[in-house]
Amino acid sequence: MKRVIKSTVLLAIAVFAAAAITEFGRADDATSAKQPIPAFIFGQNLEHTRSAVQGGISAQLVKNRKFAGKPARNGVMMMWEAYGSRAFYQNPGYSCTRHAARSAMRRVNEFGCQVVGCLESDGEAGIAQGNVGIRGGVPHTFKAVVSTLHPTDAVMVLRVANADGTVLAEKEFTVNTTNSRAWTRIAFDFTLEKNTMAKISVGVKGKNYCAIGAVSILPADNFHGLRADVVENLHDIGAAIIRWPGGNFAGEYRWRDGLIEDPDERAPLQSYREIETHPHTLGYDSNDVGMQDVLALCEKIGAEPFFTINAAWESPQDSADWVKACNGRVKLWSLGNEMGYGHMEGPKGPAEYTNMVRPHAEAMLKVDPELTIVASGPYPNKNWIENSAKPLADVAPVISYHRYDHWQGLYDYSTPETTAALYSFISKCADDAINALKNCRAQLPDNIDISYDEWNLWYEWYRTESIVEGLYAAKMLNGLMRNWEACGLKCVCYFQPVNEQAINVTPFESHLTSIGEAMRLWKGHVGGVPADVSDLPADAFVTDAQDGSRYMTFYNFSTTESRTFRIPTSGRNKVVAAESLIPNGLETGCRYERKPCEVTFDGDFCEVVLAPASQAGVRIAK
């Protein structure tokens, strides 16, 4: 006799999962079938690219706030506009910012400021920036680092207005600095009544001059300069590892800058491949998020930090000093990112790369012998395996592996047939990715493991969210949990969650996309042991938790047909929690809606019916 239960309890996944497994490594083959699912499968990248940090997890609201790059023809720095009828503007080439140490890295236009001159005794001139999203009801601090250029009084004003110019908050300051290289701070707190796309401005009144070195607006509820809601999103998707600062950005990062306590004093960082990695900020990172902020984030969400050194531009002693500065809090390190490729600076051959990074690894291990160090390279590649991975295995017994899959044509949702074809192809992409991982494993000797530290669909960061990506993520996570031991995975990191298709961030809110929802659903397996279920469908996964409960997840890639899953209960006949992710459409811009999931018990089995393009997670207990 069948018994139907429609759960009204959505999944409280973390409550029922066993303690997260954060140890890095491969289980012994003899016991591998009984190993719990490790949390590291749900690792994440946090790279300073595109809008992942600036305009993403960073709580800082002002763009190009330290005036990097070159000015426009009128002398106004990029991303700013002039105001005032008679005025002049200039970038004199000095700055209130600095790097913490000298470097041979070749970068330009990282130091700047904005000089404003008002030419009318009863006038006002300055710079303004529009489309600044300020949340209503939340206190904010508006701050600027300024100079009067010479020892004289100047009246300066900080102002917040709405789009039609109505002033919502402002404050005047009398400023007097001793010379052009002396700086002071002006600031005030304000709270707007409602969410506002505001125009902010910094100006000088009367016939006078000023230099503006940095501008900042931060909400009071920020966490170490990060948006509190996005931090919570990362926790919700089970981010067990945070790989930082990259990715490609590791090749531009100067870790000692993060020791400069005040972000206003940290010089911006120019990207080596600015159009690819920093197109939304015109080639520069504001250098607001540093090592201490990332370590605080990891502690807050329970993640392991995974840091990537800049071996091409820093010395082995620099890398050892970074390990020492982390004070034992970072155990997982990578010797650069995607070394050997043309888009990264440094040696392009395996022997040359090995000669460069071995002294780094040895110096780092001398500081902390318990580190796990990952070797970079274009893997799988037989030349690199023979001439880099194997020679480095005594100091770096893990290789970094990246793979992106992509749909060669358009994302065509114009007809049911083209939509179905797209979903079918993306499903195959996940199969190809797991098969490629197995192929990489087959080429490596047994003493070398894999850090699969970048996976995603290609150019996911340039598309609007949709449901097909969430199904791809579910299939990838399913494949990774089924194969992590056999493939010798040390860790896994999705690239990347914030504004690149797991967590979408707008000025006034953030939310999980279909990918983020899939991660939140499937993370319930962490700590559970794969159940002994015969004939388990390929699009389902089942684990038994330490508390005796059984957790089951399912996905249905079909765009037209429902799918029934029938799973043995092993004596469990009570639904603890059950949730379906139901799409509100199949095309671009659609999202999952969380709904109760109907579970039917039939003797020693339970049944779950999935609607087209949906997913579900069910936990049952005795």
Residues 6+ apart with CB under 8 A from 99: 110, 254, 256, 257, 266, 267
Residues 6+ apart with CB under 8 A from 270: 68, 107, 108, 109, 110, 252, 283, 284
pLDDT tens, position by position, 335-351: 999 999 988 999 999 99
Residue 511, strand partner residues: 504
The secondary structure of 423-490 as a DSSP string is HHHHHHHHHHHHHHHHHHHHHS-TT-EEEEEEEEETTGGGS---HHHHHHHHHHHHHHHHHTTTTTEE
pLDDT tens, position by position, 201-231: 999 999 999 999 999 999 999 999 999 999 9
pLDDT tens, position by position, 361-396: 999 999 999 999 999 999 999 999 999 999 999 999
The rounded distance, in Å, linking the Cα atoms of 519 and 238 is 7
pLDDT tens, position by position, 16-37: 343 333 333 434 333 345 799 9
pLDDT tens, position by position, 61-73: 999 999 999 999 9
Q: Establish whether the linkage from the previous residue to 25 is cis, with ω within 30° of 0.
A: no
pTM for the model = 0.94
Q: Establish whether the linkage from the previous residue to 350 is cis, with ω within 30° of 0.
A: no
Q: What is the mean pLDDT of residues 107-136?
A: 95
Residue 273 predicted with pLDDT over 60: yes
